[in-house]
Amino acid sequence: MELVRREGWEGSRRLSIRVLHILYRYLSGYGEKIGLAFAWLFGAWLFFALLFTQVGFVRSAPSSVPDRETYTIDDVGAPLNVCKEALAYSLAVMTFQKPEPRPLTATAKFAVLAETIFGPIQAALFALAVRRRFMR
């Protein structure tokens, strides 16, 4: 208790470190649980693929239109309509590729950004758990 009292305001600055420890615990079991880390990675992949079937993306003009400048795309955009296409798009975003079509709406842009951040971090936690298992 004396140490907690002496830390005072310095202890509250370490809140971000505590948050990182909590995330590390629940997302990979402190780098020990391969199944947990893989489940989160697989779940994120499916979640973002499902999300990409609901948000708007820029579609290219059909090739039958002679003048591409006269062809306009609405501001809403079109979601990915095929589940296989959404799964492939999600995997491409997770592996830092620049897949087509580009996100159009703010929700689509945020979803791509979130998966670009969360996917590789979770893949790294999965790789760490696998590495720690084989180091023993």
Measured distance CA(63)–CA(19) in Å, rounded: 51
Q: Is residue 8 scored above 60 in pLDDT?
A: no
Per-residue tokens: 8: 């005072």
Burial of 92 (0-12, 13-18, 19+ CB in 10 A): middle
pTM score of the predicted model:
0.76
Q: How many percent of the chain have pLDDT more than 90?
A: 47
Q: Which pLDDT score is estimated for 41?
A: 97
Which of the listed CATH numbers 3.30.2310, 1.10.287, 1.10.10, 1.10.260 matches domain 13-61+72-135? 1.10.287
Domain definitions of the chain by residue range: 13-61+72-135
Torsion of CA 61, 66, 69, 70, to 10 degrees: -90
Burial of 85 (0-12, 13-18, 19+ CB in 10 A): middle
pLDDT confidence bin for 13, thresholds 50/70/90:
low
Measured distance CA(50)–CA(89) in Å, rounded: 11
Average of per-residue pLDDT across 16-24: 84
| Among 9-23, 42-56, 73-87, the range of highest mean pLDDT | 42-56
